[in-house]
Structure 1
């Protein structure tokens, strides 16, 4: 029996609709052909591995962008067009059996709705309805009924923070190969039954970390359902809280060979989720910035971390909101200069201030204006005068980084925005964020594992920005209502019965409820 031929395609991005920034083609770092197979995140497909040798894998185009503002229509058309064109070329010479649809699930495109479903519809027009499609996603993605309909297998991460990225991607491919290997004598594989349940819940990741309850016990049910006879996979999508689109909400799905089993499994998880919907809390103590800073100053442990959550670039923030830095520099403790607590702040992007610091060199004193080039909805640019502490070139995200010491505050400036999640991010800039600072303020939501380990204590500051944790002040207009936590009372309880998604990929009819 010949090996199945499987193409790889997809675009992954998490886009806030509440930030003025836009995501363009270069941000996706597109990979093509064999480049895709050689990526570390796809190492389970390398030659000599079980999965790599189980099929003929053909890369078309994949792109994964750092979260940001909406994708421009031009960027989407360019990348989607190339994916479709490459798939068309493959189908001219090969009989394609499967497609691994490598996406995130929270991509928002100017002038388009349900972008991942739209891209897959275009792909289906080229590869046809019989090619088996397996999607891997982030649990902060969105699964519309249409996306569930256009895929045959679908799965997502089971941890937040995401420590099972490789495992999830491999699972999507393994499930796909297993289905395709059912073929014999030219017969089509038996497609999985798909049970889909939408829930009227839309919560930020900072309230749904699988480290904590109630998410920990809800997600613990996922492998239990997957282990049931007749079930291939089960999954929970929390949804993406900073996207204002009708599809945005929590989703539970189960796929398998037995309708009764997949329905029972999906309904079990959905009921657990809804029973706990009012129990979700932030993963750490929260407060206004002043409340968090007061707590940090008063604390006897060091370093004390503060999450500047409203402009978190890894959730879709523009990264250049200056509101928090303005607050820091106006604090009386900071105005004491070197007598105050030593503070690290990460970060503010801006090519001009970075170049000014480079031209002056380490040790020089410079005055620069930084930030609010993209998102000036909450505060304007900030003027900084300080000593150039360090300069670093060649970062994959920032390109160039400099540290400006403004009194007792070490401000990281970047040419392009960058998330600061790792200890080495600071060490490379001659900053000790584990033992050498009193307060570390990072643009992030929940602390990523290394930061969590480095902190002796921390708080999540409810700061303004394109990914404001206070969802109710953002102004969602397009999401379905009622929706928790926007609505606290429901006249009727939600329908937690499984909806069976048709196996045919013909256009859906009827309400997507």
Structure 2
């Protein structure tokens, strides 16, 4: 019997797995602070995420306003990387289940998940976690889930969860809002009523740099959702994470309605929109040499942004590839700002040299990807930092990134004028704070190079004259036609069919 004040357990377990990555996510990676907070337990799950753009924060705020009593269990996330180790997955799952068992009587569960977790033993990490939770909770306890826009959703996850809400923006400006959208649905489920579900998977992949929701096809896909809601159907779209190599890697949609027919009709409609837009999902990228040509063009006013999309640490990249850097240096580009390079040894050397000091090092080039090699040069230390970076942009504003010992370096003994930021902890360059925290003004440069795929757009587009994706070597492939998939479903196309 439901209590007078519904008691809801909340937990989060996030990882986006790049099956082509070089390093795995172990337990330490889930426990540490990086671009996300460190692992949180109990009341800290609410208190230390309050006001942040996170689903669990949005759910907690809306649930408290709705008069629900919350039983916070655990929240944990690791930077995107290769597979989650069995030790990490089993440990975090056990913590969540143990917390649920110890929480006392519950009326429902909210889970903040990603939707693209691949572990050493489980290709569908979220589906396995939901299977275990449902086995403990039984068929009647409502379980609602938030997922990332880049989720690869399995039929098992849809069956095991009563409701799934998915981010609708990339950059993900609506993470907290997505968590909040789960609350009224959970209230409905708590009455004992159930929603009919429909699930559809698409038959082609969309490269991540083409999933930006400010342009086609994402803009048109998400425009299909509001009319469905006006008709009483709750529907969401996942565009898929293309580096998680397993059979459910693909875009998909979910729909919930009071009748099975209405849910199915909505899902079929979304699938039809996907089919119509397939030819518009191919977005060209520049070569590093073409990007260098643009950087060398005479320019006044706002800077150009070059996105090193295949070395995005937010998609499991190493954040240390040097293809774009080498091309810019070879071309003698002027007024260039680059970041963030994950280069702990260079950061140590910079701190030893001190501000104004000089040192020589072989930077990066450790990805193992063909065409990537260390960039050997002399650098001047412009500034030093402890890596405490407060986000100022819309996506993570209010949060604090832990970058570890960091430095701003200037390429020396060369005709090129290039400034770059090196860090000791991998972090996607998606916020102006990644540069301003160490005393650099991105708007003062001619060209800004970011190791990010699309999240940077929220904070950098307002100061940019143009944005170009660049296909330098990296472990996050955006040219899907050459990606060495092993487990992709045979019906899924990696090169979009032309309309």
CA contact (8 A) 2:16 2:117 kept: yes
Give the distance between the partners of 1:87 and 1:241, measured in 2 at CA.
Answer: 33
CA contact (8 A) 1:228 1:261 kept: no
Where 1:116 maps in the other structure, the secondary structure is helix
| CA-based RMSD | 2.1
Given candidates 345, 354, 357, the residue that maps to 2:347 is 354
Q: Matches of residues 476-487 of structure 1 in structure 2 within 5 Å?
A: 476-486=485-495
Give the distance between the partners of 1:86 and 1:374, measured in 2 at CA.
Answer: 38
Give the direction of change, closer, same or farther, for the CA distance of 1:215–1:406 in structure 2 (3 Å limit).
same
Give the direction of change, closer, same or farther, for the CA distance of 1:143–1:429 in structure 2 (3 Å limit).
same
Please report how far the alpha carbon of residue 44 of structure 1 lies from its aligned counterpart in structure 2 after TM superposition: 4.4
Given candidates 71, 78, 97, the residue that maps to 1:58 is 71
Please report how far the alpha carbon of residue 200 of structure 1 lies from its aligned counterpart in structure 2 after TM superposition: 0.8
Which residue of structure 1 aligns with residue 452 of structure 2?
444
Q: Does 1:409 align with 2:418?
A: yes
Query: Cα deviations across residues 203-225 of structure 1 (Å, max 9, x unaligned)?
Result: 12321222112321221111211
Give the distance between the partners of 1:27 and 1:389, measured in 2 at CA.
Answer: 30
Query: Cα deviations across residues 233-283 of structure 1 (Å, max 9, x unaligned)?
Result: 20111111111111111111101211121111111111111111112242x
Which residue of structure 2 aligns with residue 124 of structure 1?
134
Which residue of structure 2 aligns with residue 511 of structure 1?
none
Please report how far the alpha carbon of residue 310 of structure 1 lies from its aligned counterpart in structure 2 after TM superposition: 0.8
Q: Matches of residues 410-429 of structure 1 in structure 2 within 5 Å?
A: 410-429=419-438
CA contact (8 A) 2:59 2:181 kept: no
Which residue of structure 2 aligns with residue 225 of structure 1?
228
Given candidates 198, 214, 218, the residue that maps to 1:215 is 218
Please report how far the alpha carbon of residue 381 of structure 1 lies from its aligned counterpart in structure 2 after TM superposition: 2.9
Query: Cα deviations across residues 103-161 of structure 1 (Å, max 9, x unaligned)?
Result: 01111212322010001111222222221110101111011000111101111011122
Query: Cα deviations across residues 377-411 of structure 1 (Å, max 9, x unaligned)?
Result: 54233323121000111423312210111131112
Query: Cα deviations across residues 292-348 of structure 1 (Å, max 9, x unaligned)?
Result: 21122125344121111111111221212233323333x1325xxxxxx12111122
Where 2:402 maps in the other structure, the secondary structure is coil
Which residue of structure 2 aligns with residue 195 of structure 1?
198
CA contact (8 A) 1:320 1:375 kept: no
Which residue of structure 1 aligns with residue 292 of structure 2?
293
Please report how far the alpha carbon of residue 437 of structure 1 lies from its aligned counterpart in structure 2 after TM superposition: 1.1
Where 1:366 maps in the other structure, the secondary structure is strand
Give the distance between the partners of 2:346 and 2:387, measured in 1 at CA.
Answer: 17
Give the distance between the partners of 1:300 and 1:360, measured in 2 at CA.
Answer: 34
Which residue of structure 2 aligns with residue 76 of structure 1?
89
Q: Matches of residues 94-493 of structure 1 in structure 2 within 5 Å?
A: 94-180=104-190, 182=191, 189-229=192-232, 231=233, 233-282=234-283, 286-301=285-300, 302-329=302-329, 331-334=330-333, 341-373=334-366, 375=368, 378-395=371-388, 396-407=401-412, 408-434=417-443, 436-446=444-454, 447-486=456-495, 488=497
Which residue of structure 2 aligns with residue 504 of structure 1?
none
Which residue of structure 1 aligns with residue 102 of structure 2?
89
Please report how far the alpha carbon of residue 34 of structure 1 lies from its aligned counterpart in structure 2 after TM superposition: 0.9
Given candidates 9, 20, 23, the residue that maps to 2:22 is 20
Where 2:484 maps in the other structure, the secondary structure is coil
What's the TM-score, normalizing by structure 2?
0.88
CA contact (8 A) 1:12 1:102 kept: yes
Please report how far the alpha carbon of residue 100 of structure 1 lies from its aligned counterpart in structure 2 after TM superposition: 0.5
CA contact (8 A) 2:59 2:179 kept: no
CA contact (8 A) 2:299 2:446 kept: no
CA contact (8 A) 2:369 2:475 kept: no
CA contact (8 A) 2:59 2:176 kept: no
Give the direction of change, closer, same or farther, for the CA distance of 1:163–1:108 in structure 2 (3 Å limit).
same
CA contact (8 A) 1:368 1:383 kept: yes
Query: Cα deviations across residues 35-72 of structure 1 (Å, max 9, x unaligned)?
Result: 1122133444568x664452221111121223222212
User: Quick check: 292-301 or 160-169, which moved more?
Assistant: 292-301
Give the direction of change, closer, same or farther, for the CA distance of 1:373–1:80 in structure 2 (3 Å limit).
farther
Give the distance between the partners of 1:50 and 1:77, measured in 2 at CA.
Answer: 29
Please report how far the alpha carbon of residue 374 of structure 1 lies from its aligned counterpart in structure 2 after TM superposition: 5.4
Give the distance between the partners of 1:380 and 1:139, measured in 2 at CA.
Answer: 33
Where 1:416 maps in the other structure, the secondary structure is coil
Give the distance between the partners of 1:472 and 1:46, measured in 2 at CA.
Answer: 42
CA contact (8 A) 1:242 1:466 kept: no
Higher CA-based Rg: 1
CA contact (8 A) 2:22 2:81 kept: no
CA contact (8 A) 2:372 2:474 kept: no
Give the distance between the partners of 2:491 and 2:57, measured in 1 at CA.
Answer: 43
Equivalent pairs, count:
467
CA contact (8 A) 2:19 2:83 kept: yes
Q: Does 1:33 align with 2:38?
A: no
Give the distance between the partners of 1:375 and 1:359, measured in 2 at CA.
Answer: 28
CA contact (8 A) 1:15 1:70 kept: yes
